[in-house]
Amino acid sequence: MYTLIAIAGLGVLCLIAEIFNGRKAIVPITIVGLLAILGLTATGFNDSADTYNNMIVFDKFATTFSCLFIILTVFLIALTPSFHAKQLQKISDFVSIKLFLLTGAVAMVAFGNLSMFFLGIEILSIALYVLAASDRLSLKSNEAGMKYFLMGAFASGFILFGIALIYGATGSFDMATITEAGSSADVEDWFYIGAILLSIGMLFKVAAAPFHFWAPDVYEGSPALTTALMSTLAKVVAMAAFFKLVGAMNVNLPSSSSTVIIVISILSMSIGNIMALRQTNVKRMLAFSGISHAGFMLMTLLAVTTSAGVLLYYTSAYAFAGIAAFSVVLYVTKDKDNEDIFNFNGLGKTSPLLAGILTCSLLSMAGIPIFSGFFAKVFLFGQMLSAGHVTLVIIAVINSIISVGYYFKLILAMYTKDATEEVRPVPFVYHAVATAAIALNIAIGLFPSILLGLLS
Amino acid sequence: MDVSLLLIILLVGAIATFLSGDKWASKTALAFSLAAFGVSVFLLNLFNSGKNVGFLMPWVKTPSIYIALNLDGLSMALVLLTTALTPLIIFSSFGNKYAKSKNFYALIMFMVFAMVGTFLSADGFVYYIFWELALIPIYFIGLLWGNGNIQSRRKAVVKFFIYTFAGSLFMLVSFIYLYLRVGSFLINDLVQADLSPREQFWIFLGFFIAYAIKIPLIPFHTWQAKVYQKAPAVGTMLLSGIMLKMALYSIIRWQLPIAPAVAKEFMYYFVGLSVAGVIYGSIVALKQKDLKKLLAYSSLAHVGLIAAGTYTLTLDGLRGAVLQMLAHGFGVVGLFFAADIISRRYNTTKIVEMGGIRIQTPVFTSMFLILVLASVALPGTFNFIGEFELLYSLAQRNIWVAALAGTTIILGAFYMLRMFQKVMLGDKNEKPFADVNFNEGFTMVIIIAVLLFFGLYPKPIIDLITPSLEQILAVINRI
């Protein structure tokens, strides 16, 4: 609970700092504050607490995922000042919106009541709409914000409708009551309709096929830092929340629901990967890659009682690799009007360290040892095989092979083509964030037990 | 002291090479590879004196993964092959100049680290990691330092990577499935798994795809010739000399003991496929106009024979396979080095543009001839021992298969000698051919000495590998 209040307070503090002309201090204070909150949250790992009549429940699941979100936000906020170097007068807006977004994110994994969940998802979404359209003079950014807003509003509508139907069937918003009431045999039919509508909304948020159409356009149009946020933090948050929801309703969902999840998972993986092969724009490519990763993460829903640890591991591996990759993308595409692959030509010569880091993060996403993306896939496949989904695993394996195709396109561009422009200095923070993120990625690869053990 | 020291030396060597800067990189790499060779000889002594030099450390609790390194005669032979060839390969590259040599040599050392790890691992998961790790360095070595224009090189190397990566993933699925059945990745537990024939079949197939691509067997060989041609000499030597032995070794170590029922039931399919590769490789080699590609296809034929030997499941087959792996390792490195010596002087690998070398350099010609004769398994060379045992094992199973496979010697002699004739003999070439310098000669002499010595006296190696092969065979024949 304190986590939630502290983060929101930090956001307000940022806005106040703006009034008192303390712009320079905003980012350092926020980062230090977030790290303190991280520490505070982590110490509360073992005591699970529910507050305000079960509105907020900080169990192990909520605590660990909140910690992950805070770490990701720290990275994203650290990148903010150099990304918005030309709009430093608005830095407090950019930072505080991200902090409010984080508030929504934490609420989305720590909810104990569907109304709290909906509040969380709206706080997160509205912050994202604003961030997507935050480059207000760019037509593309405006378009992205508008598209995302319209589509997102629809999804929210679905979610709200679903919640209403579930309320109608069970008479409560409280998760524990819903789980209990739903497990009885004589649950009303519209409970299932509600669950389906809720799932549709969540699948939209995680950008799983066939609800993925917004993702490439929005990713491409938004400012690169927002794209980074969407593809790492926002996706992970939505996935964790979805996992928690399914976990709570799993008892009474008919077995055919797992068929639906399998189909959606296969569709997401395949569409994401095959479409990514054709992209020349790096942001679009990573958007499709994100869609395929959503397909992988959705598999955890098939064994929802046992795979929380695997989901945590997969999302962390994916998000850290994503942060590392995006900090390189931010540097390369800075002041460019497009993000085509040829911008990366010769990066291996002009900036070997960044090229190396991008290579590592792409290898991690492709699932090559010793990076954690590989272990994530192994644990996931193991989980699925033990649940008896052999065909699904084989399709996932084939998809992993396809994904190598486009990840390597980028690697090849960096190392085998000649640079088209002269070397630009790399801001220190890009190096720092990219290195730290990839180091975390490799660290959880070398010591997988740390994360896996947390939730089992 | 245990085997982990060897891996540590190689890993530290890779880092030290990277840090030593472009000027000293090659020498640092050579020093560390020699140290690794020294350590492996020392390990051989410890091993022969009956000491247990294995290494076991828990790594991940759930799923239970151990960093388990085990050394038996089979691993020892291949580790020795790797660590003996590495200094030779690195030394042979001193005649070439490589841009960014610190990256180049660091990648070589890292690749050797991964390959030695593959030969030593007794835990399936760690084995898989090493197996995959070896792939990344060779990808960059081929891509960044290869020959020819970048477009075609990129195509060849990416194809290679995707092929092998795809194959490995199927092996990974097999391992995960095995883990779920057994609850352990350790080889000793895996071979005791009580698998139904159906399960064994799929697991065998998963392994088979990975190995058939890496060896390569037809019809999975299409990546090979292009990559051998495009990769730098060092890359080709590492690939053909050591890396494809990883797959042959893995057949004996992992595939056959884990799924013996399938290996027995479908023996003739696998033997047949391998022998088909032998004949196909030999025939295609006849038509090659590029020296490196010719050697690539001849290599395809030779490894096909080795694979056929392993799938016969006889002691002679396994032993012949290991002997031939070692012989082929040295032989093919020698041949590719010779090809590199020629292309250093003539800047080409096309056979038409060569010829008339014998008149200018009788010394190099004699060395080349010995390597060619070793490659066609002339009695007295190491290759003869291996090839003889392999053919003998095939004959134990089916005389006709053996006869078919035997054509490799005839065809091999035909295309190799014809190649020798075109490359070396003939009128004086208008382009001058400088005689081999000391460095080049030294490498060649060592390789030739190894081939001749073990050709005449293979007993130490046979004594080394036979007990462990008998053990493996006992595991295979447990049902």
Tell me the residue range of the domain where B387 lies: 278-479
Whether B168 maps to a domain, the answer reads no
Q: Which residues of B touch A368 (CB under 8 A)?
A: 132, 135-136, 165
- Tokens 């388990």 correspond to B68
**Has residue A234 got a pLDDT over 70?**
yes
Q: Which residues of B touch A390 (CB under 8 A)?
A: 177
User: Quick one: pLDDT at residue B446?
Assistant: 92
**Has residue A276 got a pLDDT over 80?**
yes
pTM score, whole prediction: 0.89
State the Cα–Cα distance between residues B333 and B99, nearest whole angstrom.
23
Q: Which residues of B touch A404 (CB under 8 A)?
A: 161-162, 165
pLDDT band of residue A252 (cuts 50, 70, 90) is: low
CB–CB contact A453 B61 (8 Å): yes
CB–CB contact B63 A382 (8 Å): yes
Can you tell me the ipTM of this complex? Answer: 0.84
Backbone angles phi, psi at A56, to 5 degrees: -120, 125
Structure tokens belonging to residue B312 = 């016969």
Q: Which residues of A touch B177 (CB under 8 A)?
A: 385, 390
Q: Of the ranges A66-75, A163-172, A207-216, B96-105, which is most confident?
A: A66-75
Task: Collapse the DSSP code of B312 into the 3-class scheme (helix H, G, I; strand E, B; otherwise coil) and give the result.
Answer: coil
Q: Which residue of B has its CA nearest to A409?
A: B158
DSSP state at residue B147: S
Count of structural domains within chain B? 1
Closest CA–CA distance from residue A122 to any residue of chain B (Å)? 37
Interface size A-B, in CB pairs within 8 Å, comes to 70
State the Cα–Cα distance between residues A218 and A235, nearest whole angstrom.
14
State the Cα–Cα distance between residues A67 and A426, nearest whole angstrom.
29
Whether B309 maps to a domain, the answer reads yes
Q: Of the candidates B63, B143, B172, which has its C-beta nearest A415's C-beta?
A: B143
Q: Which residue of A has its CA nearest to B149?
A: A416
Closest CA–CA distance from residue A370 to any residue of chain B (Å)? 7
User: Quick one: pLDDT at residue A251?
Assistant: 64
Contact B132/A at CB under 8 A: yes
Q: Which residue of B has its CA nearest to A405?
A: B162
User: Quick one: pLDDT at residue A160?
Assistant: 94
- Number of H helices and E strands in chain B, helices first, is 22, 2
| A47 against A235, higher pLDDT | A235
Contact B165/A at CB under 8 A: yes
Q: Which of A254-258, A391-395, B123-127 has the lowest mean pLDDT?
A: A254-258
Q: Cα torsion for B128, B131, B135, B141, to the nearest 10°?
A: 150
Whether B386 maps to a domain, the answer reads yes
Closest CA–CA distance from residue B175 to any residue of chain A (Å)? 9
Decide: A313 and A367 in contact? Cβ < 8 Å. Answer: no
Query: Taking the CB of residue A171, how many other CB atoms lie within 10 A of it?
Result: 12
Q: Which residue of B has its CA nearest to A380?
A: B176
Query: Taking the CB of residue A216, how many other CB atoms lie within 10 A of it?
Result: 23
Q: Where are the domains of chain A?
A: 1-153+208-238, 254-456
Average predicted confidence (pLDDT) for chain A:
89
CB–CB contact A401 B136 (8 Å): no
Convert chain A into a string of H (helix), E (strand) and C (coil).
CHHHHHHHHHHHHHHHHHHCCCHHHHHHHHHHHHHHHHHHHHHCCCCCEEECCCCEEECHHHHHHHHHHHHHHHHHHHHHHHHCHHHHHHHHHHHHHHHHHHHHHHHHHHECEHHHHHHHHHHHHHHHHHHHCCCCCCHHHHHHHHHHHHHHHHHHHHHHHHHHHHHHHHCCCEHHHHHHHHHCCCCCHHHHHHHHHHHHHHHHHHCCCCCCCHHHHHHHHCCHHHHHHHHHHHHHHHHHHHHHHHHHHHHHCCCHHHHHHHHHHHHHHHHHHHHHHCCCEHHHHHHHHHHHHHHHHHHHHHHCCCCHHHHHHHHHHHHHHHHHHHHHHHHHCCCCCCCEHHHHCCHHHHCHHHHHHHHHHHHHHHCCCCCHHHHHHHHHHHHHHHCCCHHHHHHHHHHHHHHHHHHHHHHHHHHHCCCCCCCCCCCHHHHHHHHHHHHHHHHHHHCCHHHHHHCC
The pLDDT tens digits for A160-171 are 999 999 999 888
User: Quick one: pLDDT at residue B261?
Assistant: 87
User: Quick one: pLDDT at residue B193?
Assistant: 81
| CA neighbor of A135 nearest in space, from A76, A205, A214, A218 | A218
Q: Which residue of B has its CA nearest to A445?
A: B60
The pLDDT tens digits for A324-376 are 999 999 998 887 877 888 888 888 888 889 999 999 999 999 988 889 999 99
Q: Is the previous residue joined to B197 through a cis bond, with omega within 30 degrees of 0?
A: no
Whether B127 maps to a domain, the answer reads no
Q: Which residues of A touch B140 (CB under 8 A)?
A: 415
| B154 against A7, higher pLDDT | A7
Decide: B358 and B434 in contact? Cβ < 8 Å. Answer: no
Q: Which residues of B touch A356 (CB under 8 A)?
A: none
Which of A374, A408, A442, A455 to mutate against chain B (most B CBs within 10 Å)? A408
CB–CB contact A449 B170 (8 Å): no
**Has residue A38 got a pLDDT over 70?**
yes
Which of A310, A359, A381, A395 to mutate against chain B (most B CBs within 10 Å)? A381
CB–CB contact B172 A378 (8 Å): yes
Q: Of the candidates A370, A408, A452, which has its C-beta nearest B158's C-beta?
A: A408
User: Quick one: pLDDT at residue B33?
Assistant: 92
Contact B268/A at CB under 8 A: no
- Tokens 């799932």 correspond to A199
CB–CB contact B63 A456 (8 Å): no
pLDDT band of residue A267 (cuts 50, 70, 90) is: very high
Q: Of the candidates B60, B140, B173, which has its C-beta nearest A393's C-beta?
A: B173
Q: Above pLDDT 70, what percent of chain A?
A: 99
Q: Which of A276-290, A419-433, B78-92 has the lowest mean pLDDT?
A: A419-433
Which of A397, A414, A455 to mutate against chain B (most B CBs within 10 Å)? A397
User: Quick one: pLDDT at residue A270?
Assistant: 93
State the Cα–Cα distance between residues B354 and B346, nearest whole angstrom.
8
User: Quick one: pLDDT at residue A272?
Assistant: 93
Task: Collapse the DSSP code of B57 into the 3-class scheme (helix H, G, I; strand E, B; otherwise coil) and give the result.
Answer: strand
* Average pLDDT for A96-114: 93
pLDDT in tens, chain B (479 residues): 788 889 999 999 999 999 988 888 888 999 999 999 999 999 999 888 888 888 888 888 777 888 889 888 899 999 999 999 999 999 888 877 888 888 899 999 999 999 999 999 999 999 999 999 998 899 888 888 888 788 888 888 888 888 898 889 889 989 988 888 888 888 888 888 888 888 889 999 999 999 999 988 888 888 888 888 888 888 899 988 899 899 999 999 999 888 888 888 888 899 999 999 889 988 888 888 888 888 888 888 899 999 999 999 899 999 999 999 999 999 999 999 988 888 888 888 888 888 777 878 888 888 889 999 998 888 889 999 999 999 999 998 888 888 888 888 888 888 999 888 888 887 776 777 777 788 888 989 999 999 999 999 999 999 999 999 999 999 888 86
